[in-house]
Amino acid sequence: MIDTKHDWTPDFLSACPKLFAPITSVAALLTAAHRTHWPTLTDYQTLLDHYGQAPHTASGAAIRFVAQGARPSSLADHYEPRIFLRGEVQTRTDNWHDLFQVLIWTLFPQTKLILNALHYHAAHQRHQIDLANTRRTPLENALTLFDECGAMILSSDPALLQLIRDFRWKELFWHRRRDVQTQLRCIVFGHALYEKALTPYPGMTAQALLFDVDEQRITAPIDEQIALSDALARQFLDDRQHTLTPRRLQPFPLLGMPGWTVDNHEASYYDDTRHFRPGRTLKP
């Protein structure tokens, strides 16, 4: 557990190692070089350019991490439009939330770019109808929810995915525990979830997209699973047959995953309704 009120802590990955697995290799590049102080914007940009894929927005602008600007005076100066039009990701230094944002841009560029494009076009359409309308649409709310708290669940057993849709948590995590360990992967995407994982708490929940994949994908190295998750999420979000709303995202209690907390090695853990709540079902 990390005290996020204090300064830079280079050993933050130890707070929840299995949850942090997708970002471990790239985060280690920052922590190895910065044992006593926070990375700078230049460090973040170097990480993206050297480790990542030098992503460009749909408008052709190269992604750059820049200091947070003044209060926006037009649509083009708002957070998502500024990324779309100029490639400028406003980033605070000495800030956990934005550090994880940088790591996600580096590891999941396809998903970040399609989320940004969808955000921009939705906001642009809303402003064309009414310049004074600042109320976000259900699509914009869903995009934000997934961006902040999303995860991709990969499984080679469709029955496990159905247990998730049906909120049958004890059956999933306890009675089929070995199957979850061998046939299901949870790839955390949302940067806000990583910030929350610095101090894990009961009921910490991802908003997930579920994907049925073959067994070979499940046993692949983590970097291949990240690339697959990035491609699958981008394809899903870019498919006009899928109208994303908050209800299209599947709640998933992260600390139910075997070994993601030292507390979940007993069956009684899965009777705790703070973690495992009943809910509405999500159709495939």
Q: Where are the domains of the chain?
A: 17-141, 145-271
Work out the angle at residue 189's Cα, subtended by the Cα atoms of residues 163 and 236, and round it to the nearest 5 degrees. Answer: 70
Residues 70-104: tens digit of each pLDDT: 888 888 899 999 999 999 999 999 999 999 999 99
Q: What is the pLDDT of residue 132?
A: 59
Residues 187-200: tens digit of each pLDDT: 999 999 999 999 99
Distance CA 62, CA 82 (A): 12
pLDDT band at 7 (very low <50, low <70, confident <90, very high): confident
Mean pLDDT of 47-61: 90
Q: What is the pLDDT of residue 3?
A: 58
Say how many C-beta atoms besides its own lie within 10 A of residue 194's C-beta. 26
Predicted confidence (pLDDT) at residue 282 exceeds the cutoff of 60: no
Predicted confidence (pLDDT) at residue 128 exceeds the cutoff of 90: no
